[in-house]
C-alpha cells in the first residue's frame, strides 16, 4: 500500500477506536479492507454503502466471518435508504471524484451522531498534472481538489461543530464531530 493510503486508514481507525462498539458507515467501502480492520477494532456493525456491486461481492467474501455485523448496501449514497444513526461515518478516497461534495457531506451529517472521517485530494505541482492527465484526459473521469478553507466551509455549513484537518503531501484528512 502507498503511504497515503495507510495514513488515511490509520486516521479512520484511530477515530473508530475512540468509541465503544461503534456503528460505522463506510461510504464507498469497496472490497472491505478497511471494514475488516474496523470490525477487528471492535465495531458492533460495519455498513458498506457502495455503488459497485462487484466491490460489495468482494466485501461479502472477505468479511464472511463477521456474520451479521456486516451490512452491504448497494446504491448511490445520496439516495439509498440507510436506517438509524451511525457513531462514525467514513469516506476514504471517495471525494476525489465527487462534483457535489456539499451534498455528500450534508448526508454524512444527517446520518452521524458522532464523527465523520474523510480524505480529500489537494492540488500539488508534483502529482497534480499527472493525475489530471491520467484521469481526466486519458480516462475521461473528472477529478476534484480541495483547499482547507473549502473543507472547513463544507463541514461547518453541514452542521459539524469541531473540525480537525490534517494536511499531507497530496491531500487532507478531516475529522468532523457533531
How many Å apart are CA 111 and CA 25, to the nearest integer? 9
Dig out the grid coordinates for 132 from the structure. Answer: 489530471
> What CATH code would you report for 3-177?
3.40.50.150
Sign of CA dihedral 90, 94, 95, 101: negative
pLDDT of residue 158: 98
How many Å apart are CA 178 and CA 89, to the nearest integer? 12
Rounding to the nearest 10 degrees, give the CA dihedral for residues 85, 91, 96, 98.
-10
Whether this model's pTM surpasses 0.85: yes
Q: Going residue by residue through the chain, which has 178 residues, state the pLDDT in tens, using 9 for 90 and above.
A: 566 778 999 999 999 999 999 999 999 999 999 999 999 999 999 999 999 999 999 999 999 999 999 999 999 999 999 999 999 999 999 998 888 999 999 999 999 999 999 999 998 887 877 887 888 889 988 888 999 999 999 999 999 999 999 998 889 999 999 9
Amino acid at each position: 500500500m502507498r503511504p497515503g493510503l495507510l495514513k488515511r486508514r490509520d486516521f479512520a481507525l484511530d477515530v473508530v477506536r475512540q468509541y465503544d462498539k461503534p456503528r460505522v458507515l463506510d461510504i464507498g467501502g469497496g472490497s472491505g479492507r478497511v471494514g475488516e480492520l474496523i470490525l477487528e477494532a471492535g465495531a458492533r456493525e460495519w455498513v458498506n454503502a457502495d455503488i459497485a456491486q462487484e466491490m460489495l461481492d468482494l466485501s461479502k467474501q472477505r468479511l464472511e466471518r463477521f456474520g451479521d455485523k456486516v451490512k452491504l448496501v448497494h446504491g448511490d449514497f445520496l439516495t439509498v435508504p440507510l436506517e438509524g444513526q451511525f457513531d462514525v461515518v467514513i469516506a476514504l478516497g471517495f471525494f476525489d471524484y465527487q462534483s457535489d461534495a456539499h451534498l455528500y457531506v450534508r448526508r454524512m451529517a444527517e446520518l452521524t451522531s458522532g464523527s465523520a472521517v474523510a480524505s480529500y485530494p489537494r492540488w500539488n505541482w508534483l502529482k497534480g498534472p499527472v493525475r489530471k492527465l491520467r484521469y481526466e484526459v486519458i480516462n475521461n473521469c473528472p477529478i476534484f481538489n480541495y483547499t482547507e478553507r473549502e473543507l472547513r466551509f463544507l463541514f461547518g455549513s453541514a452542521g459539524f461543530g469541531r473540525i480537525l484537518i490534517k494536511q499531507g503531501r497530496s491531500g487532507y484528512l478531516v475529522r468532523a464531530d457533531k
